[in-house]
Chains A and B, each alone.
Chain A
Amino acid sequence: MGLLSDPVRRRALARLVLRLNAPLCALSYAAGVAWFLALAFPPLTQRTYMSENAMGSTMVEEQFAGGERARGWARDFAAHRRKAGALPAAWLERAMRSVGLEVYTQSFSRKLPFPDEAHERYMVSGTNVYGILRAPRAASTESLVLTVPCGSDATNSQAVGLLLALAAHFRGQIYWAKDIIFLVTEQDLLGTEAWLEAYHDVNVTGMQSSPLQGRAGAIQAAVALELSTDVVTSLDVAVEGLNGQLPNLDLLNLFQTFCQKGGLLCTLQGKLQPQDWTSVDGPLQGLQTLLLMVLQQASGRPHGPHGLFLRYRVEALTIRGINSFRQYKYDLVAVGKALEGVFRKLNHLLERLHQSFFFYLLPALSRFVSIGLYMPAVGFLLLVLGLKALELWMQLHEAGVGPEEAGGGPESSPPLQPAQSVGLASLVAPLLISQAMGLALYILPVLGQHVATQHFPVAEAEAVVLTLLAIYAAGLALPHSTQRVVSARAPDRGWMALKLVAIIYLALQLACIALTNFSLGFLLAVTMVPAAALTKPYGPRPLYATLLVLTSPAATLLGSLFLWRELQEAPLSLAEGWQLFLVAGGPGSPAFRTAPPYGHRARPGNTAHESPRAAPQTPRARNLRGPRHPRHRKMPAGPALLPVSTPPGSAARRSPAPSPALATPALGAAAGADGSRGAPETAKMAVAAASLRGAVLGPRGAGLPGAGARGLLCGARLGQLPLRTSQAVPLSSKAGPSRGRKVMLSALGMLAAGGAGLAVALHSAVSASDLELHPPSYPWSHRGLLSSLDHTSIRRGFQVYKQVCSSCHSMDYVAYRHLVGVCYTEDEAKALAEEVRGLGGGGPRDWGAHCAGRQGRDGALRGRWRFRTAPMRMERCSCGQGSSPTISPNHTPTLRPPEQPITEHCPLTSATSLELGTVVRTTSSPC
């Protein structure tokens, strides 16, 4: 046996892998892309369903009727806003106080890294106003947030009006169990981020803000509202948050159910959901929505102010009112009712939203693709890299076996040297240098900006560009450092080892990215994998160069832009596309104020690109390279250009076409491994950077493998791998080779069959999991054939019933005589019955007689169990309500009608029940 340790078989296997490698790679790549495109089709998309029990139904009677008030407030707000030129904080404060909220303000300021193109200002400052509605009889441990971001213009005033009207309505209700925070932020996302940071008392973006005076515990969920018209035709829901983080699917489901209930039209990515999923048209339409979501998620940019909440583990979504040319329009009351329903349901939540999916893709509002179904797409793509790495590894190690097997291709004609000739040490230098370059690209532009503007007559934006240019120029020296890798004796071995390491590294990084932000990982994999797999130091160099350029992330970005606008049915012309690309990629452009003012270019630091860089060092290629071809040299580093930055302000969010700027693949920055501290440039840039340390999964607790994994990778020995070791431990003394093969085949068959069966079983188990409630299994003492009831525990149980349960549940159909011989003697049972009679017996104040309407029995043992204590009966009397259902065994639980109507017949007033600690129970019961 020993499929891999047997030299003959191994050679055969190696030959197979080497020969079939190219078709396998192509097949795998095609499978990955096809799988992704198939995601929008019904077997892979499923209908969404509510997992959280507390929000299962929409049984809420919405009573919001403040449409007129909302419009009035909206008008006032818009007028004050125009007059003040900024958020009218004082007016807002007064308005919130007038509806009875506890009002606080927070002022913040932030120095922008670049002057704003329109206003030439460095310092952005603003004031957030928020009011807290305190839930009665609660300790302010949990809260919900309704937030409205206000930009520089007078948009969103209807949202402010609706917020105030909802606050006024909510204030009059008594059912709140969680505090509700009504938050109006200035400067759009900047204000939201400032408030969130102050609320959680952290400072990740260098924001200067006044501390918050009022808090309301842990925020459980948040809804952001954007409305600019009095009537809407549809509501658009945005879920994508910072770094592609998504809220729990249940929140979306909740909103969708209330939209359905109110008959509101809801869209996702601006697209209506297809009605017919059986034909091809529906899924194709879903595919468009899915692609839009993927592009949006890959940009890493929050699709609305809700996106900033997700980092703090606050499930949130943004609702935008759309007013199009449709005929049916809804007024603010309809929107308010949907929001009221959502908030009342969120108010019911006992736990944080956790039951449903956190990783999903949405082809429509009511359809989703879960993580288990979309991950194979990227898995297939990464398999290409795996196969390629295997091929390289085999070429490196099988080469020494014999000249006839040295490599599958005719190119590598000279026999390769033994493996020891490529030492690990020679690979360290290029790896370190490329890592350092990624780190430099991440850190230096920021540092350089400060230094350069102080000492040289350059602008901020220019300083960044110049620093970047300097780094790239320094990167030109990289090929010299790879000289040692390519030794004179075995040139092929050198680049193979380097490419092997680079490919494995690329695969690992892409897998990590895909896990946290599938869209980004997938887009990068689709474009980078072919280039990484194909490049070699020989062959048609212009072709490779073109391929590299075309599949570089910069080209991906450009392509994504065109695809984005195409899907949005607003196709770009070439010139417009280029403009947008500059905006998304460069540090600001005069054409669009929405430009990210800081062209933060984080380089992926991707060692995959070292292979093309190292490749030219082969003797054949060396003469091609040189200072005459700067472009060539730059492009290997060029793919690294990944514009990540998100604008600090607000405007970009409102831009007509938010450019799907690809967030950094985080590799270069990962080298920094200091994402949480770094990049104090813009609010969201640091946020993007923090993704590296797991902010994408952040609150979920997972982190990306940091420097440790990388060190491990770089330190991995290439020489002796475990696969080489043959373990000559005999399993069986009698097994010949033929038998061994049989054993192996049968074992393989069993494993495969078992695995398949297990997969099927697990699949059904997962599907059934959250819908079924299994009865608990207890180790009853009387289960066995020879065992009987445990009488002491019966006695204990009776005690528990008597002291605890009996206050709410009667057992009127069980008599005391049933206890005799079971857990009490006859005398004891009699005493018990007497005791209860004594409590309620005799005189005009016989509570039992009054409330239960039943006289105590004379014969003690015939009497039924009656342990209800007087105060409980009194409570029932005073409430005029029925009692809790009885739990007697031979009687189905019924709610008995109120026996004694109102207080007059009761000898006690309600005050007694107040005194005796039964108050809370009374409130919780419907009386």
Chain B
Amino acid sequence: MAAACLRLVWLAPLLLGLVDGGRAEPPRDALREELVITPLPSGDVAATFQFRTRWDSDLQREEGLSVLLKADRLFHTSYHSQAVHIRPVCRNARCTSISWELRQTLSVVYDAFVTGQGKKDWSLFRMFSRTLTEPCPLASESRVYVDVTSYNQDNETLEVHPTPTTTYQDVTLGTQKTYAVYDLLDTAVINNSRNLNLQFKWKSPPENEAPPVPFLHAQRYVSGYGLQNGELNTLLYNTHPYRAFPVLVLDTVPWYLRLYVHTLTITSKGKENKPSYVHYQPAQDRLQPHLLEMLIQLPANSATKVSIQFERALLKWTEYTPDPNHGFYVSPSVLSALVPSMVAAKPVDWEESPLFKSLYPVSDSSSYFVRLYTEPLLVNLPTPDFSMPYNVICLTCTVVAVCYGSFYNLLTRTFHIEEPSTGGLAKWLANLIRRARGVPPL
């Protein structure tokens, strides 16, 4: 696949200089590419491309999954994220030599509503305006995985075209998932009309079903009004039907929101929830932000509200940003949790399992690790009007103060004629001289 290949070229000068063993032995595993398509609860569709390779010779092809990467479609998405991972891997069991693995990931979320004209249906052509034509000839593995979990449960609602030949069962994020697998190297998949356009249709529109929610999700907002006080609220939802689990909440709040730690309240189901661990590092003005870390037990099937009040500080006038009326951002809370699984996960064999397994965090048999970031907040601080009239007002006030002072003096002060001082050496001297000159003395 050309994109991946060229990236190798780009990184080659950087890496090859560092690696000793990499050049000596031939690579064992040249290129694996993979596309995972997952319909999301919100109705959007997530597509994740992964390309993994070991160092190899010059590869320049524009085939395989990379034909789908068309820029103007990729940027009309709701979300995208990309990553490059480079790591050493052992070449043999004893790890006497290593080779380097490059893994590139591109995740995009398509707004299925807009591309599907109001329906949840999707197809490769609708999303990417391309279809798959052939596998990358250099790839040792080139597969498309489609999440068809609901398809298997209920054959009536969903239709996947072409019908998958093989499926793959896996446990991701604690739930059992079924993926339809399309192996592009399998000639039967593409051979029919030299293109593969995956389609996903809902037979009956799933209107009223509540979208499934993840076990742990969160929401954050600022409450209150006015420019003096406010409250930071974080809502933590545990939708697990019967298991409680702890969550580590990490908040960093800028110093110009002065937190009142005594107002920290955590309530779950109307009762106070005492955190088992609280670490608070107070802010220092202009030096360090507040750091608040708590370990909170979330009861099963509950919403927990963490709230803390703050006061908005007055900044020095040079500390305002050029767009102070936009507000100041407060970074998201970070939630880390071991969420109990519904289904026990098997230990993973990284070489054998699909590449997307690495996207999900390692989980043991009973729980899996999740790190969530809540939304960032925009908080307005009391902001002076940095416009010309403001300056004029300041100036006018100064002038008025000055004028008032003089007027007051004029109106209230009385002036006396000071008696001429009688003595003084200078006067005496001057009079001496005057007398000498014959001029009347002072």
Interface residues in chain A, defined as those with a beta carbon under 8 Å from any beta carbon in chain B: 1-6, 94, 97-100, 102, 134, 136-137, 139-142, 171-172, 174, 200-202, 215, 217-218, 311-313, 350-352, 354-355, 698-701, 722-723, 725-737, 740, 744, 747-748, 751, 755, 758, 762, 765-766, 768-770, 845, 870, 878-879, 907-916, 919, 922-923, 927
Whether A908 contacts B323 by the Cβ 8 Å rule is no
Which residues 369-420 in B have Cβ within 8 Å of A in the complex?
375-380, 382-383, 385, 387-389, 392, 395-396, 399, 403, 406-407, 410-418
Assuming the contacts A140-B375, A762-B392, A909-B69, asked whether A201 and B416 have C-beta atoms less than 8 A apart, the reply is no
B80: Cβ under 8 A from any A Cβ: yes
Interface 0/1 of B1-32, CB less than 8 Å to A: 01110110110000000000000000000000
Query: Nearest CB to that of A349 among chain B residues?
Result: B326
Does A769 contact B6, Cβ atoms closer than 8 Å? no
Task: Flag if A726 contacts B414 (CB, 8 Å).
Answer: yes
Beyond A100-B114, A350-B323, A908-B3: 11 further Cβ-contacts under 8 Å?
Answer: A3-B412, A218-B379, A351-B323, A699-B227, A726-B414, A729-B413, A730-B418, A907-B60, A908-B6, A911-B6, A916-B10
- With a cutoff of 8 Å between Cβ atoms, the chain A residues found around residue B274 in the complex are none
The residues of A that contact B231 with a CB separation of less than 8 Å are 201
The 3 closest A-B pairs by CB, nearest first: A911-B3, A769-B388, A201-B223
Question: B79, A137: Cβ atoms under 8 Å?
Answer: yes
B17 to chain A, nearest CB (A): 15
Q: List 10 A-B contacts (CB under 8 A).
A: A5-B411, A217-B375, A311-B225, A727-B412, A733-B417, A734-B418, A740-B415, A747-B410, A770-B387, A908-B6
Chain A residue contacts of B388, Cβ below 8 A = 765-766, 768-770
Residue picked from A215, A878, A879, most chain B C-beta under 10 Å: A215
A352 with B326: CB separation less than 8 A: yes
B66 touches A731 (CB 8 A): no
| B3 and A909 within 8 A (CB) | yes
- 0/1 per residue, B210-234, Cβ < 8 Å to A? 0000000001011111111001010
Q: Which residues of B contact A354 (CB under 8 A)?
A: 325, 383, 385
Give A481 to B137 CA distance when docked, in angstroms: 104
Q: Which of A2, A142, A700, A915 contacts B104 (CB 8 A)?
A: A915
B101 touches A (CB below 8 Å): no
Given A351-B326, A910-B69, A915-B84, do A171 and B416 touch, yes or no (CB 8 Å)?
Answer: no
Cα distance A313–B383 in the bound complex, in angstroms? 13
Provide the bound-state CA to CA distance between A737 and B389, in Å.
Answer: 42
Q: Which residues of A contact B377 (CB under 8 A)?
A: 141, 217
Which of B10, B74, B76, B221 is A215 in contact with, Cβ under 8 Å? B221
Q: Tell me if B78 counts as interface (CB < 8 A to partner A).
A: yes
The residues of B that contact A136 with a CB separation of less than 8 Å are 77-79, 111
A352 and B219 CA atoms in complex are apart in Å by 24
A5: contacting residue among B62, B392, B413, CB under 8 A: B413
The verdict on B255 contacting chain A, using a C-beta distance below 8 Å, is no
Contacts of A845 in B (CB 8 A): 9
Smallest CB gap from B80: residue in A: A919
Contact flag A909-B6 (CB < 8 Å), given A200-B224, A701-B226, A922-B75: yes
Query: Contacts A172-B114, A751-B406 hold; do A313 and B66 have CB atoms under 8 A apart?
Result: no
B414 engages A202 (CB within 8 Å): no
Q: Which of A137, A915, A923 has the largest count of B CB atoms less than 10 A from its CB? A: A915
Select which of B221, B228, B410 is within 8 A of A201 by beta carbon.
B221
Chain A nearest CB, measured from B31 CB (Å): 14
> What 0/1 pattern do residues 135 to 175 of B give for CB contact below 8 A with A?
00000000000000000000000000000000000000000
For A747, what are the chain B residues with a Cβ–Cβ distance below 8 Å?
Answer: 406, 410
**Candidates A141, A730, A748, A919; contact of B75 at CB < 8 Å:** A919
With both beta carbons as reference points, the residue of chain A lying nearest to B235 in the complex is identified as: A211
- Does A755 lie within 8 Å of B82, measured CB to CB? no
Q: Assess whether B113 is interfacial by the CB under 8 Å rule.
A: yes
Minimum CB–CB distance from A219 to chain B (whole Å) comes to 10
CB A101 to nearest CB in B, in angstroms, measures 10
A311 neighbours in B (Cβ, 8 Å) = 225
B382/A910 in contact, CB under 8 A: no
Closest chain-A Cβ to B384's Cβ sits at a distance in Å of 10
> Across the two chains, which residue of chain B brings its CB closest to A923?
B75
The contact of B403 among A171, A731, A755, A870, by CB within 8 Å, is A755
Of residues 272 to 299 in B, which have CB atoms within 8 Å of A's CB atoms?
none
Closest to A701 in B: B227
Q: Does B71 contact A (CB under 8 A)?
A: yes
Task: State the CA gap A99–B71 with chains docked (Å).
Answer: 27
A744 vs B399: C-alpha distance in the bound complex, in angstroms?
Answer: 19
Instruction: State A698–B4 Cα separation when bound (angstroms).
Output: 57
- B301 nearest CB across to chain A (Å): 16
Per the bound structure, the CA–CA distance linking A2 and B323 in Å amounts to: 51
Check if B111 sits within 8 Å of A201, measured CB to CB. no
In whole angstroms, how far apart are the Cα atoms of A726 and B415 in the complex?
10
Once bound together, how far apart are the Cα atoms of A311 and B325, in whole Å? 17
Task: Assess whether A217 is in contact with B378, with CB atoms less than 8 Å apart.
Answer: yes
Q: Contact at B69–A352, with CB atoms within 8 Å?
A: no
* B114 cross-chain contacts in A, Cβ below 8 A: 100, 171-172, 174
The residue in chain A whose Cβ has the minimal distance to the Cβ of B389 is A766
Q: Is residue B70 within 8 Å, beta carbon to beta carbon, of the partner chain?
A: yes
Find out whether the CB atom of B219 lies under 8 angstroms from the CB atom of A215: yes
| CB <8 Å contact, B74 and A914 | yes
Contact B233 A201 (CB under 8 A): yes
Nearest-neighbour CB distance to chain B for A777, whole angstroms, equals 16
**In the bound complex, do residue A731 and residue B233 qualify as a contact, i.e. CB atoms below 8 Å apart?**
no
Name the distance in Å between B385's Cβ and chain A's nearest Cβ. Answer: 7
Report B6-64 residues with CB < 8 Å from chain A CB.
Answer: 6-7, 9-10, 42-43, 60, 62
Q: How many angstroms from the CA of A139 to the CA of B375 in the assembled complex? A: 6
Whether the Cβ atoms of B392 and A725 lie closer than 8 Å is: no
With both chains docked as a complex, state the minimum distance between the C-beta of B40 and any C-beta of chain A, in angstroms: 13
Q: Are the CB atoms of B74 and A313 closer together than 8 Å?
A: no
> B205's closest neighbor in chain A, by CB?
A98
Q: Which B residues are CB-close (under 8 A) to A201?
A: 221, 223-224, 231, 233
Does B389 lie within 8 Å of A701, measured CB to CB?
no
Contacts of B7 in A (CB 8 A): 911-912, 915
- Provided the pairs A98-B118, A732-B415 are in contact, do residues A911 and B2 lie with their beta carbons within 8 angstroms? yes
Binary contact track B71-111/A, C-beta < 8 Å → 1, others 0 = 11011111110101000000000000000000010100001
* B79 & A1 in contact (Cβ 8 Å cutoff): no
Known: A751-B407, A770-B388. A2 touches B414 (CB 8 A): yes
CB of B69 within 8 A of CB of A313, answer: no
Is B354 among interface residues, defined by CB-CB distance under 8 A?
no
Known: A137-B79, A201-B231. A3 touches B387 (CB 8 A): no
- Expressed in whole angstroms, the minimum distance between the Cβ of B23 and any Cβ of chain A is 21
A570 to B165, CA, bound (A): 79
- Chain B nearest CB from A1 CB (Å) reads 5
Report yes or no: A4 in contact with B378, Cβ–Cβ below 8 A: no
Interface pair A911/B69, CB less than 8 Å apart: yes
Contacts A2-B411, A94-B207, A728-B414 known; A202 to B225 CB distance under 8 Å?
Answer: yes
Cβ contact within 8 Å between B326 and A350: yes
Residue of B nearest to A312 (CB): B225
User: What residues of B have a CB within 8 angstroms of the CB of A6 in the complex?
Assistant: 414
Q: Which of chain B's residues have a CB closer than 8 A to the CB of A722?
A: 412
Return the contact of A727 from the options B42, B118, B382, B414 (Cβ within 8 A): B414
Verify A701–B382 contact, CB threshold 8 A.
Answer: yes
Q: Is B246 an interface residue (CB 8 A)?
A: no
- Contact residues in B for A100 (Cβ distance below 8 Å): 43, 113-114, 118
- A911 CB to closest chain B CB (Å) equals 3
Contacting residue for A139 out of B76, B325, B376, CB 8 A: B376
Q: Give complex CA distance A611, B19 in Å.
A: 97
Residue of A nearest to B62 (CB): A909
Q: Is the pair B225, A698 in contact by a Cβ cutoff of 8 Å?
A: yes
Does B260 count as interface, using CB distance less than 8 angstroms?
no
Docked pose: A45 CA to B387 CA in angstroms: 22
Q: Does B329 contact A (CB under 8 A)?
A: yes
Bound: A172/B115 CA distance, A: 9
Question: Which residues from B are CB-within-8-Å of A910?
Answer: 3, 69-71, 74
| Interface flags, B249-262, vs A, CB<8A=1, else 0 | 00000000000000
